Amino acid sequence: MDGIWESFLNIVRQESGSRIVDTWFKALVLHRWDALERIVYLKAPNQFVCTWIQRNYMSMIYSHMGRLLNVELSKIVILDGQSLTELPASTEQQIQPARAYQSPTLSLKRPIRTQVNQHYSFADFVVGPNNSLAYAAAHAVTEKPGSLYNPLFIYGGSGLGKTHLLHAIGNEIKNLHKNTSILYQTTDRFVNEFISAIRFNRVHKFQEKYRHVDVLLIDDIQFISNKDQTQEAFFHIFNVLYEARKQIVFSGDVYPQNIKGIADRLRSRLASGMVADIVMPPLETKVAIIKKKAETQGVAIEDIVAHTIANYTVASIRELEGFLVRVIAYASLMQQPITQELIYKVLGVPSTMPQSIHEVSLETVVQCMQKYHSYTLADLRSDKRVKELVTVRHMAMFLMKRITKKSLRDIATFLGGRNHATVVHAIDRVEQNMQLDPTFKQHVMSLEYEIRNH
């Protein structure tokens, strides 16, 4: 069975990246395979890893493990790694794969499965100036599907929350309108389904399936580019749904008119309704997102910790959430509290630190440093040459120059009437030590962050 699990890890690595494998799946062990009952038993190191796997990756495990074992799995059980006892029902995944995760069917004999992820809701979506229009439009279409903002097109870079809003629309409409038929579909899946329909001569059933949908949510529509036959099929599906006043929602990475490789008549329909964008959020919204995501994992983090993670340079909110997940996972596995030092250890020290929103005084630098070093301002101003005191004095000079607007002469005068050349020498020594000693560099950067955000 080791070979099966290694094959599974390789598939996940190719599909989702090495980071997901290293952070989560390498923590799991394939404990036992019950061929008679078609049950896979996995062993997790702790409750946190188990819960995260359950919430985010069960469909992936069902799909790939079932294919590797060449069976339709009946259940996946996650065991407590310490006692090897089955976890309680609240933790064990109970979803039956045949209903929840099998490939989309073309038959109308069964109800159309929504494919909507129930873990996404409007309540969990953090609203800021970067996404308020998209959020408001998404929320509005749930009240009267097909009547307001139809179609709705949400565009923006990868990992900024477009998919979250599409799933939230589906879940909210399902709550408000019980008998509504909803289908969330990625464009890749739509294309593959259409190709399969052509291959097995089921195009008519394919078309009929979509004509029976009341709300169609299409994610990453830009991937339909340069697929002429698929575009033609989708064009007709769009027209049928639109004329029947069915709600259509798209997401894409660019404005509809800027999508290359699609027919003009399809492009015009994508842009014919409400178009709203999502961009990278400001720092305050990033902090709110991090705290919200941490709460969903049952982890409370301090404001300064959220600010530390938010200040890392990222290309998307998904990447920022990935940072948070890595930090929480490391803290859980190593049984350590989440501190700035732990964040720097896991993520590395950022190349640039955030600028202070207010002017920092020389006195403030000393006060903040006293939280970590016992030396007073009088000690720093003295002529004492104790090695540790000299190091702290050098760090104070270095940080004063980096953070405050004071001149070298001002700093030298403040610290006991020294010569400004002394400050220059101290700065050089600290920079050299930071290059030679990563731990020392990490400590200095932590102090800087603390001072800027005091």
Instruction: Give the total residue count for the chain.
Output: 454
Q: What is the pLDDT of residue 2?
A: 63
Q: What is the pLDDT of residue 83?
A: 46
Query: What is the rounded distance in angstroms from the CA atom of residue 418 to the CA atom of residue 385?
Result: 14
Token pair of 272 as six digits: 């014919």
Q: What angle do CA 195, 201, 206 make, to 5 degrees?
A: 65
Query: What is the rounded distance in angstroms from the CA atom of residue 160 to the CA atom of residue 127?
Result: 12
Sequential DSSP letters for 295-328:
HHTT----HHHHHHHHTS--SSHHHHHHHHHHHH
Sequential DSSP letters for 195-217:
HHHHHTT-HHHHHHHHHT-SEEE
Q: pTM for the complete prediction?
A: 0.56
| Under 8 Å between Cβ of 342 and 327 | yes
Q: What is the pLDDT of residue 350?
A: 66
Rg of the chain over Cα atoms, rounded to whole angstroms, equals 28
120: helix, strand or coil: coil
Q: What is the pLDDT of residue 218?
A: 95
The H or E element that residue 30 is part of is strand 29-34
What per-residue string of b and e applies to 362-397 under the rule 16 or more CB within 10 Å gives b? bebbbebbeeebebebebbeeeeeeeebebbbbbbb
**Cis, peptide link before residue 151, omega less than 30° from 0:** yes
Side-chain half-sphere CA neighbours of 47 within 13 A: 9
Structural domains present in the chain = 2-100 (3.30.300.180), 132-278 (3.40.50.300), 283-347 (1.10.8), 362-452 (1.10.1750.10)
Q: What is the pLDDT of residue 371?
A: 80
Q: What is the pLDDT of residue 270?
A: 92
The H or E element that residue 80 is part of is strand 75-80
Q: What is the pLDDT of residue 415?
A: 94
Q: What is the pLDDT of residue 107?
A: 36
Q: Which residues of the chain have pLDDT under 70?
A: 1-2, 80-114, 349-358, 442, 453-454
